[in-house]
Structure 1
Amino acid sequence: MSTDTTDDPIRIAFVCVQNAGRSQMATAFAERERDRRGLADRVEILTGGTRPADGVHEEVIAVMDDVGIDLADRTPREITPDELRSCDTVATMGCSTLEFGGVDAAVDVRDWALADPDGRDLEAVREIRDGIEDRVAALFDEFSDASGRSH
């Protein structure tokens, strides 16, 4: 399988340990950006954790609801090394999520070094959310710029 054709989708993963907070917010913002930019056929989004929680943190659900995104029905899931190796970009949330290793050098791994929202007050979680939203938009700007040059 070739990974250098312009027809191949860009595959992005958002990963943290529990997949119950930061990576869920990043995934939701990425899905929104993908839709807003008309990139549904160009960008594939994965999310997961190395030790998934039972559910998305309540404070995360609350602050995402503030911006019109419903995470109440989302379920944290485990992400596999094979899934990570299949990605173009993996954004980790600052919690040593790649401890199982095995991601090859061709994968652009970015550690966003974000504070854990679990158990924090809503104002702190809103700040984390806003930082994630900005990072996701910037990431999509990079992909949009790259795809604009390739056409």
Structure 2
Amino acid sequence: MSVPSSGVLFVCVKNGGKSQMAAGLLRKELQEAGKLDAVTVTSVGTQAGKQVNPLSAAVLSDVGVDISDQSPTQLTEEAMRSAGHVIVIGAEAQVPGLDGVTVERWETVEPSEQGVEGHERMVMIREDLSARIRELASRL
């Protein structure tokens, strides 16, 4: 499935971890490919939290991505329409179906289900998202 070049909106529940990580990773991938200006990359939450997860920011910093200045943002239909392509990360977040908006769901790895927590958990999530982002970037 190809992705329209207008924008990509990542969605999770709190917009403090996975969707922020995915957006940061995609921005980095696009920048490295010289395509950063071609695609608008944003992220939101269905129940936006108060701040970016410090562990999420730390594991991205390890790979040269800084999301420490980002703030959780609440999902709106306007944001979905503006992006045109919405990627819902995980099973918990739910978004409305909107005409003209493509919705894709990424069932990501959840290391806490295997008892992996903390920094190691976030590294595993980052690596899962990184692989998906590389594939997504190839469709842009």
**TM-score category of the 2 structures, normalised to the smaller one:** 0.7 to 0.9
**Whole-angstrom distance in 2 between the partners of 1:28 and 1:91:** 14
Cα displacement string for residues 74-114 of structure 1 (whole angstroms, at most 9, x for unaligned residues): 11111211211233321111134234x1422x322111112
**Whole-angstrom distance in 2 between the partners of 1:94 and 1:113:** 5
In structure 1, the residue matched to 2:85 is: 89
In structure 2, the residue matched to 1:70 is: 66
Name the SS of the counterpart of 2:65 in structure 1. coil
Under a length normalisation based on structure 2, what TM-score does the superposition of the two structures give?
Answer: 0.84
Root mean square deviation of aligned Cα: 2.2
**Whole-angstrom distance in 2 between the partners of 1:117 and 1:21:** 14
**Whole-angstrom distance in 2 between the partners of 1:9 and 1:71:** 23
Asked if 2 retains the 8 angstrom alpha-carbon contact of 1:33 and 1:137, the reply is yes
Give the C-alpha shift of residue 115 in structure 1.
Answer: 4.4
Query: Does 36-45 or 113-122 show the bigger shift?
Result: 113-122
Q: Partner amino acid for 2:107?
A: A
**Whole-angstrom distance in 2 between the partners of 1:10 and 1:46:** 11
1:138–1:120 distance in 2 versus 1, CA, 3 Å:
same
The unaligned stretches of length 5 or more in structure 1 are 1-7, 144-151
Q: Partner amino acid for 1:111?
A: R
Aligned partner of 2:98 among 70, 84, 103: 103
Count of equivalent residues = 134
**Whole-angstrom distance in 2 between the partners of 1:60 and 1:39:** 24
In structure 2, the residue matched to 1:59 is: 55
Percent sequence identity is: 31
In structure 1, the residue matched to 2:125 is: 128
**Whole-angstrom distance in 1 between the partners of 2:120 and 2:10:** 23
Divergent runs of 4+, >3 A: 115-119
Aligned partner of 2:107 among 72, 88, 113: 113
Higher Rg of the two aligned structures: 1
Under a length normalisation based on structure 1, what TM-score does the superposition of the two structures give?
Answer: 0.78
